[in-house]
Structure formats: C-alpha cells, structure tokens
C-alpha cells in the first residue's frame, strides 16, 4: 500500500468530526471505546471502506460504516458524507438525557436529607431511568 492509502482510525474519527481533537480520538482507542467486530482497536489500526465501527462517546453509542476515506479535517457538510451512521434507532434515542430529568433540588437551609427523604428521591430517580418494557 502507498503511504497515502493507509489511514489510521484516530485520524479518520477526527477527520469525520466524531472527536474534537485527534488526541481525544487516540485516548478513546486506548480506553477501548472504539471497536471493530467486537475487538478493541489501537489508534494505529488501518481504516478501509466498508468497515463497521462501534464508537462509544460518553453515554452516546454510534455504529458507523466507512463510505470513503478522509485524510484531512473538512467542514461538517462534507465530513458527514464520508461515513454512514447505522446506529439502531432504539440505541440512538434509548438513553434518557439528564436534560429531560427533573431537577432534584432542596430548599436552602433545610439541612441534610433524612432517610425518608433519601428513599423518596431514590424511588423517583429509579422510576425515571428504569427501562420500559
């Protein structure tokens, strides 16, 4: 393979704008958050068109398929065309964001919560984040 034909996974993930910096993409690879066929990848793994990668970024999980190689970072409109997001719909909207959860605040000066208060709070949060069947 010629040098231009080889492309590292960390550089590709940075170029398609899944990560803000290349070093963040490298750290994600080292932490085992980038997978190919269930196997963790090193940052130096070579990307090929047609490969399907599982990318975990915080609570967000994506499954992407490489459509075309991209060697340099480009604007977002072009970068989106270089991969196909094949994340299942239930995973895309499956997690409940903390932005939609009610704010659990106590009035100032009320002191520490009692055991009863804590149980009520736990019951409320368990109901919010419980999987629907």
Whose tokens are 């963790």? That residue is 40
Tell me the pLDDT tens digit for each residue of 75-115. 999 999 999 999 887 776 655 555 555 566 778 888 888 89
In three-state secondary structure terms, 56 is strand
Distance CA 48, CA 35 (A): 14
Residues sharing a CB contact under 8 Å with residue 24, sequence separation 6 or more, in sequence order: 14
Distance CA 29, CA 46 (A): 13
Distance CA 48, CA 39 (A): 16
Q: What token pair was written down for 127?
A: 């109901």
Residues sharing a CB contact under 8 Å with residue 111, sequence separation 6 or more, in sequence order: none
Tell me the pLDDT tens digit for each residue of 11-22. 999 999 999 999
Per cent of the chain over pLDDT 70 is: 80
Strands (E), the chain: 34-36, 39-40, 52-57, 60-66, 83-85
Residue with the bigger pLDDT between 130 and 89: it is 89
Query: For residues 106 and 47, is the Cβ–Cβ distance under 8 A?
Result: no
Query: How many CB atoms are closer than 10 A to CB 66?
Result: 20
Q: What token pair was written down for 88?
A: 């299942």
């Amino acid at each position: 393979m010629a040098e231009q034909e080889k492309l590292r996974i960390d550089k590709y993930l940075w170029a398609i704008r899944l990560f803000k910096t290349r070093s963040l993409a490298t750290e994600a690879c080292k932490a085992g958050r980038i997978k190919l066929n269930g196997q963790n990848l090193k940052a130096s793994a070579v990307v090929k068109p047609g490969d399907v990668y599982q990318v975990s970024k915080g609570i967000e999980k994506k499954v992407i398929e490489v459509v075309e190689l991209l060697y340099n970072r480009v604007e977002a409109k072009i970068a989106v065309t270089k991969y196909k997001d094949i994340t299942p719909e239930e995973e895309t909207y499956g997690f409940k964001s903390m932005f939609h959860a009610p704010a659990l605040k106590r009035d100032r000066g009320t002191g520490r919560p009692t055991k009863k208060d804590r149980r009520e709070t736990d019951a409320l949060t368990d109901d919010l984040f419980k999987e629907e069947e």
